[in-house]
Amino acid sequence: MNKLSLKKFLRKYPHNDACLDEIFKRKYSNGVDCVRCKKVTKYYKIIGRTAYSCEFCRTQVFPLAGTIFEKSTIDLRLWFYAMFLMIKTRSGVSAKQLERELGVCYKTAHRMFKQIRTLMDENGGDMLKGDVEIDETYIGGAGKNRRYVAHFNEKEKQIVMGMIQRSGKAYLKHIPNTGKWTLIKHIKENVDPKARIITDQLPGYTQLVKYGYKHDFVNHNETYVKGDIHTQNAESMWSNLKRGIFGVYRHCSERYLQNYANEYAWRYNNRGLGDGMFDKLLNQVVLVKVLKVGQLV
């Protein structure tokens, strides 16, 4: 397999213009249809600018417009390297580490990772089918709202719900509670009614049969595996997520928890691509349109 090593990465993207050319080719894969010439014409890079000019009428196009790179003063090659780091690890890379490697301030490093994570939002779209494991986990805090635990003066934990199709995709959702209406709402939005749902013994899942789902569950007080009834794939996902948050990021605020969950779900969903994940992430740059700060299409 042709592995994308750091050596190959640096050879393929030796400078900013090489990175800009890559975005240009992906954004205009069928050529640029010039608005003045009324046809597909050849465009040439303008020296010293992030623009390309038509060979006939000199009309300009800006490949970075509408992308996460628009108006950024950070070298495009450093953006590419940050994306490279995110696909080469399974437990994530902290903004503090990116700060040290790129020589930028922490605020800039944090913003770069935040923007890149907007490309990784695959929570939705295709309905999960077949055997789907559903589970929830608790992030941060000390114990309040954790199942069977109640203490005073403790910081409330945040809840992430996982829906994982065996040999398929995973959707992770930051949810406010584990009430049955919250759980069923997300299941109906993301899981095919013909799917077989496998959960633990949480009471909130007992109503699934009323909505046409086939439901099997395993009682974790007795065993973790009962034939093919288990939530081991979900437990593996939680292991990776928590190892990253507690071991790499150290802290994850409630505000950005969904973004971090998207990152781990995206790596899981594209695990079969190997180093091809970098190409897919670059494609996302031109597919995810940025209208304004904090607003995406």
Digit-coded pLDDT (tens) for 162-205: 999 998 999 999 999 999 999 999 999 999 999 999 999 999 89
Domain range holding 10? 6-88+116-121+274-296
Question: Are 246 and 286 in a shared domain?
Answer: no
Residue 94 domain flag: no
Question: Are 159 and 72 in a shared domain?
Answer: no
- Number of domains the chain contains: 2
Query: Hey, what are 270's tokens?
Result: 């594209």
Please choose, from the candidates 129, 265, 131, 232, the residue with its C-alpha nearest in 3D space to the C-alpha of residue 190: 129
Question: Are 11 and 79 in a shared domain?
Answer: yes
pLDDT class of 97 with cuts at 50, 70, 90: very high
Residue 224 domain flag: yes
CATH number of the structural domain spanning residue 160? 3.30.420.10
pLDDT class of 291 with cuts at 50, 70, 90: low
Contacts of 105 (CB under 8 A, 6+ apart): 99
Asked if residue 153 has pLDDT above 90, the reply is: no
CA–CA distance, 21 with 19 (Å, rounded to integer):
5
SS3 assignment, position 200: coil
CB atoms within 10 A of CB 15: 11
Question: Are 138 and 243 in a shared domain?
Answer: yes
